[in-house]
Amino acid sequence: MNATLFSQIQRLFERTYAAVGVDLEDCLIDRQRCGQLSALAGAQARELSELARTFLRAADGRLHIGIYYSAWLIDQLERNDPRSRLHDANIQCLIAFVEEINHALHAALAFQRGMRTIEDENFLRHLELQAGVDTYLVLLLFVAFFRKPRAISRKDRRWLRFHLFTRKDPSAYRDLALQNRYRETNLLARRYTRFLDSLSDMRRLEEIRLFHALDYERKKAHILALPPPR
């Protein structure tokens, strides 16, 4: 397990938003525990990726988090470390890796703010939309590092959006709720990231911090009210 990469990404999100007060690496679970929690989670869980999953449960006024990564995914990241080079062979594994950290972190922050309806569809969409936006921004940092001193190009941004939003096919899910959840959040995240690309670094940071504090319906309304992308 590449703990250093995990820790770096958690610290990046915490610097952007707020500290969760716990090392999320302590929430990592093995394959056996993932199987147990998947069985408890019901039919929808059987359709989720076997590469990486985040489990959430509220009990006794506390949020319990389990983060699972398959041995194959970790092996791929160790063989093709994205800190050395980001390319077609490792970007999907990095996306899955980052998204689960993001799910756990934003669920914890929302719980601390008093949001307890973690099984509500809008809460799940909130996590998916936020993960799409934040993962795009993390990937931009990787690309910017490797492109220095050149600027990130439109081609780079199109490549990132393809892997984040186009390669995900919501129609592959049999469950209509999952189809609708991923279809809507993909479209919203794609549109919002194009808006973020138009902002300066300082303005972008202010914007995403305000966006993070909104619930899902207000996030959606905010994005739909933005001017159409050029």
58's tokens: 């509220």
145's tokens: 């590092």
Whether the CB-CB separation of 179 and 171 falls below 8 Å is answered with yes
Whole-model pTM?
Answer: 0.93
Write down the domain spans for the chain. 3-224
Backbone dihedral region for residue 21 (phi beyond 0: left; psi -120 to 50: alpha; all else: beta) = left
Over its length of 230 residues, how does the chain's per-residue pLDDT go in tens digits? Answer: 445 899 999 999 999 999 999 999 999 999 999 999 988 887 777 777 889 999 999 988 899 999 999 999 999 999 999 999 999 999 999 999 999 999 999 999 999 988 878 889 999 999 999 999 999 999 999 999 998 888 899 999 999 999 999 888 888 888 888 899 999 999 999 999 999 999 999 999 999 999 999 999 999 999 999 987 66
